[in-house]
Amino acid sequence: SYELTQPLSVSVALGQTARITCGGNNIGSKNVHWYQQKPGQAPVLVIYRDSNRPSGIPERFSGSNSGNTATLTISRAQAGDEADYYCQVWDSSTAGVFGGGTKLTVL
């Protein structure tokens, strides 16, 4: 089965740029989606199909995907960006796979 690997935690200084990676075998050939989850809340889609932002998501959120790594980039990080972030792909279009999640801390 397909596996996605994320770092357990990432820290970023207030106002700086955070990068959260999602590793998988030839993940660049798949569409990667990213979700933000704050404590006690349901996940929220922040990036779909590698680099597209849903309506209402700030431009500070961006994504890229190439080779074996997809990356979620959060520019000008704010305290409100503190959350868990999950990447997700479809393996063969019929099996959903989530990464283990990354806790983002804004210092």
Partner 1 sequence: QLQLQESGPGLVKPSETLSLTCTVSGGSISSSSYYWGWIRQPPGKGLEWIGSIYYSGSTYYNPSLKSRVTISVDTSKNQFSLKLSSVTAADTAVYYCARGWMVTATAPGAFDIWGQGTMVTVSS
Q: Given the rule CB under 8 A, which residues bind partner 1? A: 1, 31, 33, 35, 37, 41-45, 48-49, 54, 84, 86, 88, 90, 93-101
Minimum CB distance to partner 1 smaller for 23 or for 90: 90
Where do we find the tokens 């990676």? Answer: 21
Minimum CB distance to partner 1 smaller for 40 or for 80: 40
Spatial distance between the Cα atoms of 88 and 34, rounded to a whole number of angstroms: 6
Give CA separation, 20 vs 8, 33, 92, 93, in Å.
Answer: 10, 13, 24, 24
Give CA separation, 66 vs 70, 105, 107, in Å.
Answer: 6, 25, 29
State the minimum distance, in angstroms, from the CB of residue 43 to partner 1.
6
Minimum CB distance to partner 1 smaller for 8 or for 79: 8
Spatial distance between the Cα atoms of 34 and 14, rounded to a whole number of angstroms: 21
State the minimum distance, in angstroms, from the CB of residue 13 to partner 1.
26
State the minimum distance, in angstroms, from the CB of residue 69 to partner 1.
19
